[in-house]
Amino acid sequence: MTTMMKAMGISRYHQKQLEEFMLPIPAIAPDEVLVKVHAASVNPVDYKIRDGVLKLLINYRMPLVLGFDFAGTVAKAGSQVTRFKVGDEVYGLPRRTMVGTFAQFFAVKAADIALKPKNLDFEQAASVPLVGLTTYQAFNELMGLRSGESILIQAGAGGIGTFAIQLAKIMGAYVATTASEKGRALVERLGADEVIDYRTTDFWKVLHGYDCLYDVFGGKSLDEGFKILRRGGRVVSLNGTPNARFGKTQRLGFWKTEALRVASLPLTLREKRYDVTYNMIFVRPDARQLAILAGLYEEGRLVPVVDKVFPLAEAQAALDYSQSGRAKGKIVLKVE
C-alpha cells in the first residue's frame, strides 16, 4: 500500500479496487505530446456518448474515459515535435480517435493544440476549445457570417451561446438570442442586441428576415427556426439530423450517407420550402484557429464564462449538471 493511501486511511481492499480503475500514463508517438491536465471541460457530447446517443456518428468502445477539450502543461514532447517544449502551457481539442481528457495525463497530437491564452487560468482556458472551434468553424466555414448580417443564437446563456454571442459581435453581426429572464443580464453584457424570453415568447413569431440561425437544440426549435430566415438564409445546427451533405464531408461511407439522406428528408424539404441552406456542424481540431482565439482573449475582445468548477472526482455530478441544462456558461473539471 502506498504512503499516500495509508495517509488517506484507504484499506488494502479498497486500494485493490482503486488500482483496477487506474490507467497507466499514456505513451506518446513521435508527433505527440504528453500533457499534464490541469482542467478539462464538460460538454453535452460527453453524456451523449455515455448514453449511446451518437453511435451512428462516433461509436466508441466501452469502457471509455470521456472528455474532449483541456488545458494543461506539456510533460513530454515526441521526437518530431518542434513547436512545444516541456513546461509550455497549452490548450486543445484532440481528434475524435483520442477522446479522454478527464484524466491526469493525456497524449495528444501536437498539431491539435496551441499555447493557451496567457491571461486565462487553466479552468478558463479549458472552457474554450470545443465551443470556440465549433462556433468559429460554424460562422466562418459553413455559415459565412458577414458584418452587418443578422443572426439568432439559441440558448445565449449556455456554454455555446456565451461564446457565440461574443464572436458574432466581433464579426460585426446583429445578434438576437433566446434566454430566460435570469440569463438576460448575462447575454446583454456579452453583447446581445435583442433578447427573447423563451419562457414567454416563441422566437419564430417575433423574428423575421434574419440571415442566419445558429441552432443548438434540433427538433421543433430547429424546424420553427427556418421561418425566421430570409430567402438565401443559412442554418447551422449542433443537434439537428445530419444530412447526406454531412455524410459526404465526414466520409461516413455510402450506406450511412444514404441513411442520413432518408432520415433528414423533412429538413431537406424545409430547405427547399424556405429557400435556405442547412448544415450540421461536427467540430474538428485546428491549432491555427486556437491560436486566433487565444489572441482574441489576450486582447480582451473575448471573455471566458465559467458557470461551475467541479473536482475531477465529481465528474459524474458535473455530467448530471450539464444534462440538467441549468448552466450559465461552461462547466469545468479541475484536475488536482
Give the pLDDT mean for 99-118: 97
Establish if 126 belongs to a structural domain.
Answer: no
Of 100 and 60, the structure prediction assigns the larger pLDDT to: 100
Confidence of residue 50 (pLDDT cuts 50, 70, 90): confident
> Which three three-digit cell numbers place residue 143?
455559415
Q: Where are the alpha helices (DSSP H) in 230-336?
A: 244-249, 254-263, 265-274, 287-298, 315-324
Whether pLDDT at 119 is above 60: yes
Establish if 295 belongs to a structural domain.
Answer: no
Give the pLDDT mean for 245-257: 92
Confidence of residue 107 (pLDDT cuts 50, 70, 90): very high
pLDDT, tens digit, 9 for 90 and up, residues 274-296: 999 999 999 999 999 999 999 99
C-alpha–C-alpha distance, residues 175 and 131, integer Å: 18
Q: If residue 197 lies in a helix (H) or strand (E), which one and from where to where?
A: strand 194-197
CB 291 within 8 A of CB 114: yes
Strand 32-42 versus strand 105-109 pairing type: antiparallel
Do 309 and 275 lie in a common domain?
no
pLDDT, tens digit, 9 for 90 and up, residues 260-274: 999 999 999 999 999
Of 10 and 95, the structure prediction assigns the larger pLDDT to: 95
> What is residue 83's predicted lDDT score, i.e. its pLDDT?
97
Do 139 and 270 lie in a common domain?
yes
Confidence of residue 56 (pLDDT cuts 50, 70, 90): low
Of 285 and 63, the structure prediction assigns the larger pLDDT to: 285
Do 201 and 263 lie in a common domain?
yes
The CATH number of residue 310's host domain is: 3.90.180.10
Establish if 291 belongs to a structural domain.
Answer: no
C-alpha–C-alpha distance, residues 131 and 329, integer Å: 10
> Which three three-digit cell numbers place residue 141?
466555414
> What is residue 4's predicted lDDT score, i.e. its pLDDT?
40
Establish if 288 belongs to a structural domain.
Answer: no
Do 69 and 152 lie in a common domain?
no
Do 166 and 40 lie in a common domain?
no
pLDDT, tens digit, 9 for 90 and up, residues 193-202: 999 999 999 9
C-alpha–C-alpha distance, residues 195 and 193, integer Å: 7
Whether pLDDT at 236 is above 90: yes
Do 98 and 143 lie in a common domain?
no
Do 155 and 179 lie in a common domain?
yes
Do 208 and 247 lie in a common domain?
yes
Range of the domain at 244: 131-280
Half-sphere exposure of 13 (CA within 13 A, CB side): 0
How many whole angstroms from its chain centre is CA 179?
19
> What is residue 61's predicted lDDT score, i.e. its pLDDT?
81
C-alpha–C-alpha distance, residues 96 and 91, integer Å: 16
Count of domains observed in the chain: 2
